[in-house]
Amino acid sequence: MLDALPGFIVALLIGLLVGIDRERRKAQQHTTSVGGIRTFTLIALAGAVTASLSQSFASPWIYGLGGLAVTAIMIAGYIVDTKSHPENRGLTTEVAGLAVFLLGGMAIVGDRNMAVVLGIITSAVLAYKQTLHQLVGKIGEDDLYAILKLLIASFIILPILPNHTVDPWNAINPYKVWWLVILISGLSLIGYVATRWLGPGRGTAVTGLLGGLVSSTAVALTFARRSRDEEDEYPAGADSLASGVMLSWVVMFIRIMVIVAVVHLPLLQPVLWPMGVMGLASAAAAGVFYWISARHHQPAHDEIPLKNPFSLVSATKFALFFTAVLVAVRITQQRAPGNAIYAVAGLAGLTDVDAITLSMSRQAGAGGVLIVATNAIAIAALANTVVKAGIISTLASASLRIRVLLATAAIIFVGGLTFWIR
């Protein structure tokens, strides 16, 4: 008898959690609609009791009839409420009541932990109504298509790809290549959604951080051009822009570590040293520039033109580039073992650090030497940093160029030291 007690307690807590939000909503709308804290607690208890009885008597009809009864009560309450308050015509409370009933039953006969998780998610969806509506309002048609394409790439294209190598060098596994493409696209998409969610007007620091999740190169390019446009109007604004550029580079180093951790966790420990040191150097430079800009009340540069980073075309291009890097790394290992792999890493890092990071992480996971993979990733990151510094040097104002080049020299110096200090 007491064995079922934890399940009933979980069901009651789920009902209370969801009921608190509905009770608060009723008070805000000044309605007497069905579905407050007591109602939802009783609905969850009804789900638990009927599920327990169905289990005891081996008859699912008891639980099914309980669900029909709760549905009928919620429908009746909805009809009464819409007659007295015609402006409140949403079905959220009624659907939430049915969900709580099902979760109450799940706490008894299903996965109790999953019932708790889903109960919390249900409560969060109800509580963050306004935030979710604002987020949806910021999603454009192109953004929706990009999300759908990512889902197509993940759940339609990925399962049909062969999960074995298909090339003479035993390097290209289409399934694993496409999975890694989805990983990179997903990380970029998360950064893009965060940028759209927070919106403009957040200042250079947040713009650099969020922009770095999508493309630190785009941040460098945009801020470089902006520094020229604003050099006459804001001659001291270079510190603010330099802070944003450095923060986007911090995100790049963190992103590399996240990719390594996902693909081959044992590689993270050796990679943590060079990436952490260079990331800290970038963060220190960002902090200095931010402090100077704050002292001089320099303007916040709020907006950065970022497009949605995912499309099937761009994903395919990245897959092809990543495949080329994979083949180059494998051929180099077979025909020119030793330091030649570092040349490949440096060349790949000139255009995209993600591809070589994924490639070396996979090689390490397949039995490669961790220190070689670590050095290759560090070289690629340094090469990519030099390229972005070159963009700044070519396109930025003299003030921004000097600041970024000084910070880049520091990053390269501490990054180089990691090759000898281990």
> 148 and 93, same structural domain?
no
Output Rg (C-alpha) for the chain, integer angstroms. Answer: 28
Helices (H), 153-267: 158-160, 174-198, 203-229, 238-263
- Would 133 be classed as within a structural domain? no
Kindly report which listed range (28-42, 256-270, 297-311) carries the lowest average pLDDT score.
Answer: 297-311
Question: How does the average pLDDT of the chain come out, rounded?
Answer: 81
pLDDT band at 229 (very low <50, low <70, confident <90, very high): low
> 167 and 102, same structural domain?
no
> 257 and 116, same structural domain?
no
> 8 and 39, same structural domain?
yes
> 226 and 181, same structural domain?
yes
**Mean pLDDT, range 139-159, rounded to an integer:** 79
For residues 283 and 170, the model is more confident at 283
- Which pLDDT does position 236 carry in this prediction? 52
In the three-class reduction of DSSP (H, G, I as helix; E, B as strand; rest coil), residue 368 is classed as: coil
Question: Pick from 127, 155, 174: which residue ends a domain?
Answer: 127
Question: Pick from 97, 127, 157: which residue ends a domain?
Answer: 127
> 100 and 169, same structural domain?
no
For residues 336 and 306, the model is more confident at 336
CA distances in angstroms from 336 to 133, 147, 169, 327, 333, listed in the order given: 56, 42, 14, 13, 6
Q: How far is CA 8 from the centre of its chain?
A: 35
- Which pLDDT does position 299 carry in this prediction? 52
- Which pLDDT does position 391 carry in this prediction? 85
**Mean pLDDT, range 29-58, rounded to an integer:** 82
CA proximity to 306, closest of 384, 228, 217, 240: 217
For residues 200 and 76, the model is more confident at 76
Please, are residues 411 and 399 in contact by the beta-carbon 8 Å criterion?
Answer: no
**Mean pLDDT, range 382-398, rounded to an integer:** 89
> 389 and 266, same structural domain?
yes
Question: What's the structural domain count of the chain?
Answer: 2
Helices (H), 264-352: 268-295, 312-335, 340-349
pLDDT band at 201 (very low <50, low <70, confident <90, very high): very low
Does position 333 have pLDDT exceeding 60, yes or no?
A: yes
In the three-class reduction of DSSP (H, G, I as helix; E, B as strand; rest coil), residue 115 is classed as: helix
Does position 285 have pLDDT exceeding 90, yes or no?
A: yes
**Mean pLDDT, range 48-55, rounded to an integer:** 91
- Which pLDDT does position 316 carry in this prediction? 79
Does position 199 have pLDDT exceeding 70, yes or no?
A: no
Q: What percent of the chain has pLDDT over 90?
A: 24
- Would 238 be classed as within a structural domain? yes
**Mean pLDDT, range 93-122, rounded to an integer:** 89
> 347 and 232, same structural domain?
yes
> 268 and 178, same structural domain?
yes
Query: What is the spatial distance between Cα 248 and Cα 210, in angstroms, rounded to a whole number?
Result: 7
- Which pLDDT does position 419 carry in this prediction? 82
Query: What is the spatial distance between Cα 3 and Cα 29, in angstroms, rounded to a whole number?
Result: 41
Residue 66 phi/psi, 5-degree rounding, is -60, -40
Please, are residues 276 and 397 in contact by the beta-carbon 8 Å criterion?
Answer: no
pLDDT band at 32 (very low <50, low <70, confident <90, very high): low
> 64 and 203, same structural domain?
no
> 65 and 149, same structural domain?
no
Rounded to 5°, angle at Cα 175 from 171 and 180: 85
Does position 5 have pLDDT exceeding 50, yes or no?
A: yes
**Mean pLDDT, range 169-194, rounded to an integer:** 74
Query: What is the spatial distance between Cα 2 and Cα 14, in angstroms, rounded to a whole number?
Result: 19
> 103 and 9, same structural domain?
yes
Does position 368 have pLDDT exceeding 80, yes or no?
A: no
pLDDT band at 139 (very low <50, low <70, confident <90, very high): low
Highest mean pLDDT among 137-141, 338-342, 355-359: 355-359
- Would 132 be classed as within a structural domain? no
In the three-class reduction of DSSP (H, G, I as helix; E, B as strand; rest coil), residue 139 is classed as: coil
- Which pLDDT does position 28 carry in this prediction? 65
Whole domain around residue 354: which residue ranges?
Answer: 139-417
For residues 313 and 249, the model is more confident at 249
- Tens of pLDDT, residues 396-405: 888 889 999 9
pLDDT band at 198 (very low <50, low <70, confident <90, very high): low
**Mean pLDDT, range 274-281, rounded to an integer:** 95
Q: Would the pTM of this model clear 0.75, i.e. be above it?
A: no
CA proximity to 379, closest of 413, 345, 422: 345
- Tens of pLDDT, residues 299-309: 544 455 555 55
CA proximity to 248, closest of 294, 299, 301, 183: 301
Structure tokens at 337: 């073992």
CA proximity to 33, closest of 100, 105, 81: 81
Question: Pick from 96, 127, 158: which residue ends a domain?
Answer: 127
CA distances in angstroms from 218 to 120, 207, 292, 388, 415, listed in the order given: 38, 11, 24, 9, 23
pLDDT band at 222 (very low <50, low <70, confident <90, very high): confident
